[in-house]
Each structure stands twice: as C-alpha cells, then as structure tokens.
Amino acid sequence: MSGDKLLSELGYKLGRTIGEGSYSKVKVATSKKYKGTVAIKVVDRRRAPPDFVNKFLPRELSILRGVRHPHIVHVFEFIEVCNGKLYIVMEAAATDLLQAVQRNGRIPGGQARDLFAQIAGAVRYLHDHHLVHRDLKCENVLLSPDERRVKLTDFGFGRQAHGYPDLSTTYCGSAAYASPEVLLGIPYDPKKYDVWSLGVVLYVMVTGCMPFDDSDIAGLPRRQKRGVLYPDGLELSERCKALIAELLQFSPSARPSAGQVARNGWLRAGDSSIPAAPSTAQAQCTRARRASVLPRSRHAPLRTRIPPFSCLWTARAVVAPV
C-alpha cells in the first residue's frame, strides 16, 4: 500500500507543501482523528545518505518522542511504510518568526521580550534534559495565529549533549546563526552554540536585520569578533542590548547558560522599549533586504531563508584570521 493511500485510510487529507529539503518535505493536512489541521513531515529514507538515515534521523526521532514542553512542537504520531517513507504528524503553525519579522519590520514592544522568553525557556528545557538543537534560527521558531506563542521545531541536527567537556565535531546548522567556534572548525560545546544562536535570533527580532554580513563565510568569524552594531536611531533598551552582548560573546566560556538566559532581568522586567512602528533606521534595513547585491554595510539584510550547512560540511574551508 502506498504511503498516501495509507494516510487517507488513517483519516488524513494531504494539502500543499509548505517546506522542502533534499530528502524530506512538509505538507499541510487535515485530520479526522485530531479534528483539525496538522503538519506532516515526509522523509524519504531511500533518497537520503547513510549518515542521515543511521545517525541524524534516529537522533531527531528520539528527541521528538521524548520531549514534552509547551514551546516545543508536539508530535502526534509516527507512521512508517514499507516503501522507505516515514511520516511525522505534528502540530501545524500559522507562520514562523522569520515571516513575522518580514511582515512587521521587526517584533514590536513587549512582544519581542515575551516571545524570546518562551524560546529561551524551551532551550533551557532541552539543555536541562541534556539535549541540544544546533540549528536555532527564526525559520525554526513557529508562531501561533496571534503571534503570541512559539514552538521550536526541526530537530534534524539535535543530539544528546552534556556540555563541556562533551564536545561536538559535527559542524552543522546555518552559517548566519553559527557561532565562531563552529565556523572555525574547533571542537565545540553544543550548548554554547545554541546560546550564540539565541543571540542572533534576538538581534533579528528587535532590529529586523542580521547582526553579521554572512555573504563571505570565511570572513564571518572576524566580523563576529568585532561585535554587533545597531542601526542609527533604533530605540532599544540598554538591558536588551546587554543581553544580546552576553549571548554573542566570541568566547564560548563567556556566554551564559540557557538557564541564566531564561532568568535574565530583561526578560522578567516590564521593559518594552522597542518601538512598534518602523523607524528611519528600520526603513534602511528594509531597503537593504530588497537589494539584489548584499551591501558592504555594518547591517546585514534579512534574507528570505537561511540554508543549513551540509552535515558533512568541512569547517576548515572557512577558517579566517581573527
């Protein structure tokens, strides 16, 4: 029996494709059993390389089966068929954080703080359970229809990890969100990698721009070492800037733990000094995002989608002096 026919018999009606990778795609579906809309990730193991089938996919499935958190996507069931396809039925989302930033220019007011607190709480939960994500980015943060609740998704590079001295040597993720040690090919603490990525996510949320120009990956660590700058005229609280600076520390040991991030004073205070309306600085970022050639400016444009590294990516190819 074909996978699609089996899904039909189980009460699923497949809809449009909302995401696609080398050997998987995500489709919207309606479910009689769950009385509503779901998302179904279709993984074709016949097309995938052995390293994915034997290493990365089992890790992802193990994480998805074990996690239970209000801000991590919930999986309803796994359906395996004899033709090599695997169907992962999970919560559907109205949109993601990247799309919200692109629509709004940036995330306004206290909403940015509230959403980031949820993201940080989910990462803290993972780290407390000795799990890491390793591909945190705006595209992997799903949002509810009212854009007030988040769900982390896509654990394709997730794994068990106990932190230092349990180091990783798989240089994976997405370059724009990757920490310096990952880009430089240095064995790394994956928990501190997640913390760096949180800093990039927060910067994008409150500015609408990427913190670093990643058009030249070889030079990215050098730019990361210089630290972030902000668009002129952007109204942003010093406590928020201080948190971003802590998250984007060049040295992994100087970054806070996920637990410390979740307890940060800015996330607990009623500080919402991020203007709701786009400023002149935001308009400049928007124009930069639309440029066909990436400008050599201090603020990198926000691209539509950030491609992930190959999990066999060789970091030595991008080593640059810092």
User: SS in 3 state form for 160-188?
Assistant: ECCCCCCCECCCCCEHHHCCHHHHCCCCE
Residue 298: predicted pLDDT: 41
Q: What is the pLDDT of residues 152-210, one digit of tens each?
A: 999 999 999 987 888 999 999 999 999 999 999 999 999 999 999 999 999 999 999 99
Percent of the chain whose predicted confidence (pLDDT) is above 90? 73
Can you give the C-alpha Rg of the chain in angstroms?
20
Residue 302: predicted pLDDT: 58
Contact 49, 41 (CB under 8 A): no
Residue written as token pair 């984007």: 248
204: Cα separation from own chain's centroid: 12
Instruction: Please list the alpha-helical segments (H only) found in the chain.
Output: 3-9, 50-51, 57-66, 97-104, 109-128, 180-183, 190-207, 220-226, 238-247, 258-262, 265-268, 280-290
* Residue range 109-118: mean pLDDT, rounded: 94
Q: Is 15 exposed, middle or buried (0-12, 13-18, 19+ CB in 10 A)?
A: middle
Q: How many CB atoms lie within 10 A of CB 134?
A: 28
Instruction: Please determine, for residue 134, whether its predicted confidence score (pLDDT) is greater than 80.
Output: yes
**What CA–CA distance (Å, rounded) separates 269 from 242?**
14
- Per the prediction, the chain carries an average pLDDT of 86
Q: What is the pLDDT of residues 280-300, one digit of tens each?
A: 444 445 444 433 222 323 456
**What CA–CA distance (Å, rounded) separates 257 from 191?**
8
Residues in the chain, total: 322
Torsions phi, psi for 19 (to 5 deg): -165, 150
**What CA–CA distance (Å, rounded) separates 223 from 133?**
24
**Residue 82's pLDDT band (boundaries 50, 70, 90)?**
confident
Which of the pair, 305 or 42, is modelled with greater confidence?
Answer: 42
Q: Which residues are catalytic?
A: 135
Residue 304: predicted pLDDT: 59
Instruction: Please determine, for residue 59, whether its predicted confidence score (pLDDT) is greater than 70.
Output: yes
Residue 295: predicted pLDDT: 30
Amino acid 42 reads V
Write the DSSP assignment of 17-44 as a string of letters.
Answer: EEEE-SSEEEEEEEETTTTEEEEEEEEE
Instruction: Please determine, for residue 104, whether its predicted confidence score (pLDDT) is greater than 90.
Output: yes
- Quick one: which of 319, 318, 306, 317 has its CA closest to 140? 306
Most confident of 46-50, 87-91, 272-276, 286-290: 87-91
**What CA–CA distance (Å, rounded) separates 254 from 284?**
32
Query: Lowest-pLDDT range, 49-53, 251-255, 259-263, 290-294?
Result: 290-294
**Residue 3's pLDDT band (boundaries 50, 70, 90)?**
confident
Domains of the chain by start residue, with CATH: 3-91 (3.30.200.20), 95-318 (1.10.510.10)
**DSSP run (H or E) holding 76:** strand 75-80
Residue 307: predicted pLDDT: 60
- Angstrom distances, CA of residue 220 to CA of 154, 208, 273, 300: 25, 19, 30, 12
Strand partners, 95: 143
**What CA–CA distance (Å, rounded) separates 292 from 286?**
12
- 33 annotated binding-site participant: no
Instruction: Please determine, for residue 48, whether its predicted confidence score (pLDDT) is greater than 70.
Output: yes
- Kindly report the pTM of this predicted structure: 0.86
Q: Record the tokens describing residue 111, joined without a space.
A: 């909403």
**What CA–CA distance (Å, rounded) separates 23 from 20?**
8
Residue written as token pair 């945190």: 136
Instruction: Please determine, for residue 279, whether its predicted confidence score (pLDDT) is greater than 90.
Output: no
Residue 264: predicted pLDDT: 96
Instruction: Please determine, for residue 111, whether its predicted confidence score (pLDDT) is greater than 80.
Output: yes
Instruction: Please determine, for residue 29, whether its predicted confidence score (pLDDT) is greater than 90.
Output: yes
**What CA–CA distance (Å, rounded) separates 138 from 199?**
11
